[in-house]
Amino acid sequence: MNLALDWLKGKSLVKVEKKDYSWFFTFAHGSSITTESFWRLLDSERLVVTDGDHGQLFGLKEPVDAAKCVMELVGTKKIIGYSCSEICSDLFLSFEDNVQIQFFNTSGGFESWRAGNNGISVICMGEGGLSTF
């Protein structure tokens, strides 16, 4: 575990937004995670929604709003833990009530996700390393 991410614990999600190709996950007190890569939301029983579901109709009356789905399920739940895989730096955020958001490293060269809090940035580098500054 990278101690530079310990600030995630106890935070609640306040906003999820998609702009162009980027997804912005904003937490209480201005902390954030930004990604252009794959992410998914799970509850204790199923995969609920992914970034790829956003805008899809799937036979519904209106297209899926992935940001809305995340906020409806996560609500004011707090992050109770996280893990970051050693090999590829996939980031898994665990919320109360067995809810999880997973951010994936999808490139051997490009950055996949970035986390920021009070002037500290943690970047998931291509090939799976983390850079903190």
Work out the average pLDDT over 54-65: 96
Q: What is the pLDDT of residue 101?
A: 98
Centre a 10 Å sphere on the Cβ of residue 86 and count the other Cβ atoms it contains.
Answer: 11
Task: Give pTM, 2 decimals.
Answer: 0.94
Distances (CA, A) of 123 to 8, 47, 70, 92, 111: 14, 26, 23, 14, 7
Contact 115, 126 (CB under 8 A): no
Distance, in Å, from the CA atom of 110 to the CA atom of 61, rounded to the nearest integer, reads 36
Whether pLDDT at 1 is above 70 = no
Angle at the Cα of 121 from the Cα atoms of 71 and 80, rounded to 5 degrees? 45
pLDDT band at 3 (very low <50, low <70, confident <90, very high): low
Q: Edge-to-edge strand order for the sheet containing 113-117?
A: 13-19, 22-27, 32-35, 113-117, 120-124, 130-132
Distance, in Å, from the CA atom of 78 to the CA atom of 88, rounded to the nearest integer, reads 25
Q: What is the pLDDT of residue 18?
A: 97
Q: What percent of the chain has pLDDT over 70?
A: 98
Strand partners, 49: 41
Work out the average pLDDT over 108-115: 93
Work out the average pLDDT over 54-71: 97
For the segment 8-30, what is each residue's pLDDT rounded down to a tens digit? Answer: 999 999 999 999 999 999 999 88
Work out the average pLDDT over 61-83: 97
Q: What is the pLDDT of residue 86?
A: 87
pLDDT band at 2 (very low <50, low <70, confident <90, very high): low
Distance, in Å, from the CA atom of 79 to the CA atom of 73, rounded to the nearest integer, reads 13
Work out the average pLDDT over 50-56: 97
